[in-house]
C-alpha cells in the first residue's frame, strides 16, 4: 500500500505498489500518528472532506459539468463512499483496533485541491503539546509533510501543484475534542505525485526527485 510516509520501508522492498486515493491520503496522514500514539477515542472519528472537481477523474458525468458545479457546494455519497472501507482497514491495521469512521465527502466548485477536517474525542488528560509532539516527531525528516504552527491551518492554495500535505490542528477544549485539518493537491500528492514518490523510493532514489519544482502560477 503506497502511502509513502507510512510504508516507506515496505515500499523499498516491493515490486508492485497500490497507490492510495486522494481522500485516503488526506485522511490517513494526519490520523495514523494520533491513533498509533493512542491519543483519541477511536470510536468517535468523523471526517469531513471537500474535493475539487478533478477528484472525480477525467470521465465526464452530470455532477462534474460546469453548470452543475459552478456556484454549487454539495455533499455526495454520504457514508457510502468507496474509499471508506480502505481508510477503515488501514486505520484498524495501524492502531490494532477495530476503527470505524463517519466519512462525508463534498464537491466544491474548484478545479483541484482537497481539504479534510477530522473530529475525534480526546482521551482523558491529553493536551495540545501531546498532539504537537506526536505529529512533529512522527513526521521528522518527512520532506512532504508540513505541520502548521499554532493558530494556523492548511489552505488548498498553499499546496496547489505540489506534493505537500499540510496538517494543522486545534483542541475544542470545552468538548474535549481534537480537530485536525489537512490539505493536499488531489492530482499530485493525491495521485501522480505520490506515485512518483513511491517510484523514487522503490529505485533507491531521493524520494523528492522530480517533485520539488516550483509549482505553476496560481
Residue tagged active-site, from 22, 134, 148, 165: 22
CA distance 20 to 2: 6
Asked if 180 and 30 count as a contact pair (C-beta separation under 8 A), the reply is yes
Please confirm, yes or no, whether 67 is among the known catalytic residues. no
CA distance 51 to 30: 17
Asked if 186 and 115 count as a contact pair (C-beta separation under 8 A), the reply is no
CA angle at residue 144 from 86 to 204, to 5 degrees?
85
For residue 142, the tally of other CB atoms under 10 A from its CB is 16
CA distance 76 to 197: 30
Helix (H, G, I), strand (E, B) or coil at 115: strand
CA 135 to chain centroid = 14
Residues acting as catalytic residues: 22
Amino acid at each position: 500500500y503506497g502511502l509513502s510516509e507510512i510504508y516507506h520501508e515496505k515500499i523499498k522492498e516491493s515490486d508492485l505498489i497500490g497507490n492510495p486515493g486522494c481522500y485516503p491520503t488526506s485522511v490517513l496522514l494526519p490520523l495514523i500518528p494520533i491513533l498509533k500514539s493512542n491519543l483519541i477515542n477511536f470510536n468517535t472519528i468523523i471526517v469531513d472532506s471537500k474535493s475539487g472537481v478533478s477528484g472525480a477523474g477525467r470521465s465526464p458525468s452530470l455532477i462534474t459539468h460546469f453548470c452543475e458545479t459552478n456556484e454549487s457546494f454539495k455533499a455526495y455519497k454520504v457514508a457510502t463512499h468507496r474509499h471508506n472501507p480502505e481508510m477503515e482497514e488501514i486505520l484498524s491495521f495501524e492502531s490494532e483496533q477495530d476503527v470505524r469512521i463517519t466519512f462525508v465527502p463534498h464537491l466544491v466548485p474548484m478545479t483541484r485541491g482537497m481539504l479534510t477536517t477530522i473530529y475525534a474525542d480526546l482521551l482523558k488528560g491529553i493536551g495540545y503539546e501531546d498532539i504537537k509532539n506526536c505529529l512533529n516527531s512522527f513526521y521528522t525528516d518527512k520532506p512532504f509533510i508540513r505541520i502548521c504552527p499554532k493558530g494556523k491551518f492548511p489552505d488548498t492554495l498553499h499546496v496547489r501543484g505540489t506534493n505537500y500535505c499540510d496538517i494543522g490542528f486545534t483542541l475544542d477544549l470545552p468538548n474535549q475534542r481534537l480537530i485536525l485539518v489537512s490539505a493536499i493537491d488531489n492530482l499530485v500528492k493525491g495521485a501522480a505525485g505520490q506515485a512518483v514518490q513511491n517510484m523514487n523510493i522503490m529505485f533507491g532514489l531521493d524520494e523528492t526527485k522530480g517533485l520539488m519544482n516550483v509549482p505553476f502560477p496560481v
